[in-house]
A and B are shown apart, each in its own frame.
Chain A
Amino acid sequence: MANQKPKKQELEKHEVEGAKEIGKRVYEIAENIVHQIEHEHTPTFSTKVRGLSNVYFDQDKGFIQLGDKTVTRPFLNLGAARKFMQTVLVTEKCNEYLKHSKTASIREIYYELKHTVAKTNENTFDGQEESNDVIVDIEHSVSTIREKLGLQADPKGSLYGDITLIDRKHNNDEFSCKNLGRGGWSIMSRIEPDEIEIKEVNADFVLVVETSAMYGRLIEENYPKKHNAILIGTSGQAARGARRLVHRLRYEFNLPIVVFTDGDPYGWYIYSVIKSGSMALAAHSKFLAVPDAKYVGMTLTDVEEYGLQAVTEKMKDGDVKRAKELMSYDWFKSPAWQKELKLAIDKKIRIEQQALANKSLDFVAKKYLPEKIDNEIFL
């Protein structure tokens, strides 16, 4: 692939906002409620509506956006009272983290806040889903991402290749991901420039790989070095950190993004999220989505092309349903994708990345990927 000169993208206000500004907005949630109670107005909490009713596909930008609809939750409502209480508790914790420059995992905040409500046998939170939910509410209420609230998701995904990073939050460690051993670097949940600085990248493109096994295979075959690629393994659906990293590499260093997943609706949806964002994080698509990400495989055309008929698997009913949903997405409307999805629905078969091993272990690194990427055979 043609090597293009890296060019940094201007950072948006949102991205450079520090703990101070965010902290102020979190504090205001509490201040506002206190004000309401003091003036005997029903205490309320407002946030953006998520879900289908407030999510749309922005044709111009090529990714999913969140609309402007907001929802106001009053405390004095039987259905909303408990969640209101939980929101106030999480707000307090976030306020505390930001004040003392601490970070906690979303599991830690759950355990920090879980206790029995006084004079009852009811827990403040029943399961982490409840606190996770409230965290998303607060994120959307103060228009930021959880990482800026002092919270982080579990790290997921790995990075390998000729890329030099500086961890600004940890002794300013400087390291290149090409010599951290076969596993590469474990991608943090928070990848913002003030924490992880990308010092230097020497690569022609970024290859995003769904399975850890394929990630390991490609490193063992020395694929990144031979083909001048940065390798990112997502271990299934890409986490925020991995997506944010892909986004930064695309826009700060102008690297083309190529996605390589299993040939099934689940794999294609991984590509869909990297390319156009997800419903759950629609508000942050701008910092996560890469609309010009390319899809290399697996495809059902590959099955014909490389004679892999013997190593396909049957699709389950759920897979077929998912494929039909994908067909209806605006960003899957290209004739090539429609054809591919229709083929999958008709044949009811799927193909895994590892199925390429049927030819030989190094087939994927020596033939499949070079052939398809060099000739830009993308979907």
Chain B
Amino acid sequence: MSNEKTTKQETQVSKDGIDANVLFSEFKEHSVADFFKKNRQMLGLYGKQRTLTTIIHELVTNSLDACEEAGILPEIEVKISEIGEEYYEISVMDNGPGIPENKIGSALGKLLAGTKFHRLVQTRGQQGIGVSGIILFSQITTGKPTKVISGTSKERAVSLEITIDSKTNSPKMTNKVYLEKKFRGTGIKAKFKEIQYKKGQGSVDEYLRRTAIANPHATIVFQDPFQEVTKYERIVKTLPKIPKQVKPHPRGVTVDELLSLARYTSARKISSYLMLTFDRFGQTAVDSIAKMIHFDINKDPRKITWEEAEEIVSAIKKTKFIAPNTNNLVPIGENFIEKSLQTIVEPEFCFVYTRKPSVYKGGYAFQVEVAVAFGGNAGRLVSVSSPKAKNRKDSLDDQEDTKEVRVSEIIRYANKSPLLFDAGGCAITKTVQSIDWKRYGIHNFESAPVTVFVNLISVHIPYTSAGKSAIADEEEILVETKLALMDVSRRLGRYIIDKKKEAEKLEKRKVFAKYAPEIVQALSRITGADATKLQKNLDKMVLEKLKMEDLEDQKQKAKDDKIEEEIEEEEEIEE
């Protein structure tokens, strides 16, 4: 579980001579639980269905991260059982590295234990309320402790119950039992109220389906409250690379961050602090900054005042830096996305495109992956009443006939983690909707059987709000997403048009073949002409006509392709 990286961070900090407890003393002294209660909205724990999905998200994300960091192909089992009205028990079990017995408390029972806040790394979570937040939520709504079982490859597996003392933000563990059988992994089982299990959009089912699509290396099993089991089998056996933490690029730095980061540094001078802490910060930049500020650049960084920090930030804004390193982004990859979509969405065909990494706001590396899956089982299944059946005179009962149709769906991800809510306010949704789908053979996007996949990868995802379910309108991200979508749409359009042409050709051949004998027989009866000869000539003419049309199509296609390319070039240039 996330425990390991947390400890690493803490140790590193301690070595530098700073006690993490000092850093977080402010948090501790305030009642964390109160803070938590007041900020449920911010943590995504509002709305009965949304809260449930957020809980599953936190637990599953933790499991995936833990497995990947330990180099284990994840196997995750999610189970929801209904205890009473709006009262459920949730358990999530993984085959990850487990948590060493003596770290369980600090890993799971301390709110905001991690220092993810200043970490610039491509992570699923970024929320950081983590499993501890979930444990606390269970406790607040039911008063019950959370059951944990954990087994590592070295230690005996242990089962215990954990509660969080929200006044002191410290874990309390009870009922510790060592397990007889061998077990490696982490299991968490907790009860919750004020949540509700529902199917459909925003459901746990949908969350896990999308998680499975973005994580083809994981096996995910889900048992819903009706004991129905859905299993997403592992599709690929390759673990994704672990994204490296990167130094922040100076372009994106804020006054507050500059001050906070200064507290960690081992540097004695501002100049060395800047060069050590930030990416692409060299002597030239330091010299240029030194000229712009009104105090000594060799000052102790821990003694920078807010006003001085403001001066530095505004000086940084006026200084040129090389664009940030973009090597640390780990996309899912075109092949894997395609395999995933083929297996889980089961479309007739799909097109995938992973753009090259780019930078937004001058300081944050990001990368966009998109896919369109069309036909087959692509899209979202909805029931609609069929008005035809309703108006039919011979239907004696008043019951409306309903039929299931597939309509378009947009599946959004931030660092491979599904974004299920606030679709309307999300830059991804807006970009998808801004595409002129008609141009690509989809006449009504809303009602087309299409799944549009967009995964935004970044060391720092620009969310619109603390709810973290919608991406903000960052110009560079919008452009990259649009270009990527246009690329796949273009390929999709070509496919659809080719398919239509093919069907038309077949239809033509069928139609002409069907009527020709009738015509030939009648003509022969009127004029006495040889029916066999007429038929032969007519067949020949049909074939020739189709062949000619084929040639024309190819010519037209070559022309279209050229125009498309030109348009694309223009667009790239404009960009």
Contact = CB atoms under 8 A, between A and B. Distances in A.
The yes or no verdict on A and B being binding partners is yes
Interface of A: 27, 30-31, 33-34, 37-38, 40, 42-43, 75-76, 78, 81-82, 84-85, 88-89, 91-92, 95, 117-120, 122, 124
Contacts of A75: 512, 515, 519
A119 B518 CA distance: 11
Most buried by B among A27, A76, A78: A76
B537 A37 contact: yes
B236 to A, nearest CB: 45
B404 interface: no
A84 B527 contact: no
Contacts of A92: 522-523, 525-526
B532 to A, nearest CB: 12
B542 interface: yes
B560 interface: no
A43 B545 CA distance: 12
A85 B519 contact: yes
B529 interface: yes
A117 B537 CA distance: 20
B523 A34 contact: yes
Interface stretch (B130-138, B488-496, B503-511): B503-511
B199 interface: no
B534 interface: yes
- For the complex, would chain A's binding face be called helix, strand, loop or mixed by DSSP majority? helix
B478 to A, nearest CB: 43
B514 A122 contact: yes
28 contacts: A27-B527, A30-B526, A30-B527, A31-B526, A37-B523, A38-B537, A40-B540, A40-B541, A42-B545, A75-B512, A75-B515, A76-B512, A78-B507, A78-B508, A78-B511, A84-B515, A84-B519, A85-B515, A85-B518, A88-B518, A88-B522, A88-B523, A89-B518, A89-B522, A92-B522, A92-B523, A95-B526, A119-B514
A43 B517 CA distance: 14
Interface string B377-399: 00000000000000000000000
- For the complex, would chain B's binding face be called helix, strand, loop or mixed by DSSP majority? helix
Contacts of B514: 117, 119-120, 122
Contacts of B519: 33, 43, 75, 84-85, 88
B520 to A, nearest CB: 8
B529 A34 contact: yes
Interface residues of B, number: 24
A93 B389 CA distance: 40
B523 A42 contact: no
Contact of B515 (A37, A38, A42, A81): A81
Most buried by A among B508, B523, B525, B545: B523
B541 A42 contact: yes
Contact of B527 (A34, A81, A85, A124): A34
Contact of B511 (A82, A119, A124): A82
Contacts of B508: 78
Contacts of A78: 504, 507-508, 511
B538 interface: yes
A43 B516 CA distance: 11
Nearest to A85: B515
Nearest to B529: A34
Nearest to A31: B527
Contact of A37 (B507, B517, B522, B538): B538
A43 B508 CA distance: 16
Contacts, number: 73
B522 A91 contact: yes
A92 B529 CA distance: 13
A81 B512 contact: yes
A37 B526 contact: no
B518 A76 contact: no
A33 B511 CA distance: 19
Given A30-B527, A76-B541, A81-B511, 12 more contacts: A27-B527, A43-B538, A76-B512, A76-B545, A78-B504, A81-B515, A85-B515, A85-B518, A88-B519, A91-B522, A92-B523, A117-B518
A32 B514 CA distance: 22
B542 A76 contact: yes
Contacts of A85: 515, 518-519
Most buried by A among B519, B534, B540: B519
Contacts of A42: 541, 545
A95 B522 CA distance: 11
Nearest to A76: B545
A82 B515 contact: yes
Contacts of B526: 27, 30-31, 91-92, 95
A117 to B, nearest CB: 6
A28 B507 CA distance: 31
B50 to A, nearest CB: 51
Q: Which 3 A-B pairs have the closest CB atoms?
A: A85-B515, A30-B526, A92-B522
A251 to B, nearest CB: 37
A225 to B, nearest CB: 50
A124 B518 contact: yes
A89 B529 CA distance: 16
Contacts of B541: 37, 40, 42, 76
A119 B537 CA distance: 20
Contacts of A43: 519, 538
B198 to A, nearest CB: 46
A118 B517 contact: yes
Contacts of A118: 517-518
A27 B541 CA distance: 24
A95 B504 CA distance: 35
B456 to A, nearest CB: 45
Contacts of B507: 78
B540 to A, nearest CB: 7
Nearest to B507: A78
A65 B191 CA distance: 86
Nearest to A95: B526
A38 B540 contact: no
Contacts of A33: 519, 523
Nearest to A27: B526
Contacts of A84: 515, 519
Nearest to A87: B519
Contacts of A34: 523, 527, 529, 534
A99 to B, nearest CB: 10
Nearest to B526: A30
Contacts of B511: 78, 81-82
Given A31-B527, A76-B542, A78-B511, A38 B534 contact: yes
A98 B491 CA distance: 59
Contact of A40 (B518, B525, B537): B537
Contacts of A76: 512, 541-542, 545
Nearest to A118: B517
Contacts of A31: 526-527
Contacts of A37: 523, 534, 537-538, 541
A78 B514 CA distance: 12
A235 B514 CA distance: 43
A124 B508 CA distance: 17
Contacts of B504: 78
Nearest to B542: A76
Nearest to B536: A37
A158 B511 CA distance: 46
A302 to B, nearest CB: 41
Contacts of B523: 30, 33-34, 37, 88, 92
A34 B523 CA distance: 7
A91 B533 CA distance: 21
A246 B203 CA distance: 77
A38 B533 CA distance: 8
A86 B542 CA distance: 19
A324 B507 CA distance: 45
A89 B517 CA distance: 11
Nearest to B546: A76
Nearest to B519: A88
